[in-house]
Chain A
Amino acid sequence: MKPADGSGLNTRKSNRLGSIRTRLALLYSILLFGLAAIVVGGIYLSLSRALSDEPVSRDARYSDMIVDAEPTSADPAGGRLATFEQEVNRRALDQLRTYSVTAVAALFLGSLAVGWYVAGLVLRPIGRISSVAREISATDLSRRIELGGPDDELRDMADTFDDMLGRLDVAFEGQRRFVQEASHELRNPLAVLRANLDVVMADPDADTDDFRAAGEVAGRAAARMSALVDDLLLYAHHERTDSRREPIDASTVVVETVEDFGAAASADGVVLQHEVADELLVVGDPVALRRALANLLSNAIRVSDPGGRVRVTAGQDSEMVWMSVLDDGPGLSPEDQERVFQRFWRGDRASAREAGRSGLGLAIVRQIAEAHGGQVTLRSTVGVGSTFTVWLPRFVDS
């Protein structure tokens, strides 16, 4: 007996011997069978004992019992009666035994059927869950189980599963978009490289200057691609959350990074100043934090005009440690401020390409800040300059 609306999958599973449904049905009916057998056996035994212990004929008066019997002699009549009574008892017990065995057998079959049906009913949602799970592939995570029905354990399980699918979907979608954006970014320099080489190689009149020009273009394209690949690897690396974490003094990171940029700043004629408080304890990866600050610093120096000023400050309040990079460059419009942390966003595509910038710098900064449980904020006014600030949770040694 199957539930009338059992799905095809459910049926397939249930037909397998040793499936949970079979086992549940068997367990249920064996338990029921055992209990019924004990009860029926108990009734039978106690009845048979009661009948043999207290024969009715012992207390009953002979004349009360058999009115129409023909009295020949007292003794033989009493013996016959006892025999008769024994016969009746035996027959009644036989009858009872037959009925009991039949009833218990019928109960076994009935309980098997009921057990099969009930187990099927209970397990049907599981069949649905596994059929949906089977249909879900890594490329299409948009399916959900959406079990519905009463708010029970299976519903809870299905909802948990749906939540997990939702998170996976978001993660995969993000990954897919990233791969697509990254390949798009890599295709452009590849196209430049290929078109230049194709055209110059196919030109029988090309002279040394033509080849030199094509070589220069190829060199630029290659530099762009390698900068991009470096940043892509860095980005992918920081996307993992298991990188090194230890209590460090952020003030050391800031001071050392600023020192690293001293030469670059003076080469561009930019004044680099810093004002850093002592003992800025955070839990984090010093290499990653240094990278974040370096990205902010190189941006600030790049947008500053010669004679401009870049100020790096760091300090803390009761909860957070902050590191700030302030420039007096051109600033960013409100629309650009929203997009500036997006991957591959560049304010000035053409010149960014010339300089071999990947457009990942600020995305990496944000990623590092968020991986440390912090964030990065931006305040900017067009014509005045921009301030990027990285906020990190302060480490308190208890």
Chain B
Amino acid sequence: MRILLVDDEADLVDAIARGLRRNGYAVDTALDGDEALAKATWTPYDLICLDITMPGLDGFEVCRSLRQNPPEGVAPRILMLTARDTVEERIRGLDVGADDYLVKPFAFDELAARVRSLLRRDPGRTGAVLEVGTLRLDTATHGVTRADRNMDLTAKEFALLRYFMSRPGEVVSQEDLLDHVWDEHADPFTNTVRVTVGTLRRKLSVEGETSLIETIVGSGYRLIDSGAGP
């Protein structure tokens, strides 16, 4: 899940980005509206956390513009983060296309919960827990188990597995993974995706167990539903 974090307070952006990365999201940042719009036009973000009061384009304008000219693919969810708390402002924010509204100052845990809730609003997703066969992933507590055996995953491996588990059986290309699991700092020419997928694959299976991530040569990877097979 890839998130764009937009605020003109660098100190705030740094802290939230760090917290969200630890929760296994790929986070890009922008310090003003123009930068945000430019990034959102080129990258299919899953979620944009948007401040309202910014130099240049303000949050309302960025939001309206994104809704009027949506980037290709799925339209990003938009969470407004703002110090403006009047009812009129909230209504205005939601009316220009925001999906949720959070007033500063907020507890980081609440932000994380709202991010989870917004990203859950995909078809077929209802709770905080994802299950594919015997594999189980809790997006809130970050616990991952295969047949009741606990896994110890890094934030990136967790993010990768979450992305696979939200698309069981689908072929996921390396570009998809770079767009949604890695942030703007990833170099698309390195083999970081291949390496991380490899590590994750090894961690998911102890000796004797079948491998859960299949490599489809020339197109990408696929998560196998282990419950379906014998």
Taking Cβ atoms with an 8 Å cutoff, the residues of A that contact B are 180, 183-185, 187-188, 190-196, 198-200, 202-203, 214, 217, 220-221, 349-350, 353
Contacts and interface: CB of A to CB of B under 8 A. Distances in A.
Contact of A353 (B9, B53, B84): B9
Contact of B11 (A183, A184, A192): A192
Interface in B60-113: 83-86, 103-109, 111
B131 interface: no
Interface stretch (B16-24, B119-127, B172-180, B209-217): B16-24
Contacts of A221: 11
B8 interface: yes
B15 A192 contact: yes
B8 A349 contact: yes
Nearest to A346: B55
Given A195-B15, A217-B15, A188 B107 contact: no
Contact of B108 (A190, A194, A349): A194
B12 interface: yes
Which 3 pairs of residues, A with B, have the shortest CB-CB distance?
A: A198-B108, A191-B104, A187-B83
Contacts of A193: 105
Interface of B: 8-12, 14-16, 18-19, 22, 31, 53, 55, 83-86, 103-109, 111
Contact of B84 (A184, A190, A192, A203): A184
Given A198-B109, A350-B10, A188 B83 contact: yes
Contact of A180 (B18, B55, B86): B86
Given A184-B84, A199-B19, A217-B15, A194 B8 contact: no
Contacts of A190: 104-105
Given A184-B84, A202-B19, A203-B22, A194 B107 contact: yes
28 contacts: A183-B83, A183-B85, A184-B84, A185-B83, A187-B83, A187-B103, A187-B104, A188-B9, A191-B12, A191-B83, A191-B106, A192-B9, A195-B19, A195-B108, A196-B15, A198-B19, A198-B109, A199-B16, A199-B108, A200-B15, A202-B19, A202-B109, A217-B11, A220-B11, A349-B8, A349-B55, A350-B8, A350-B31
B174 to A, nearest CB: 29
| Best-buried of B22, B107, B111 by chain A (most CB within 10 Å) | B22
A188 B9 CA distance: 8
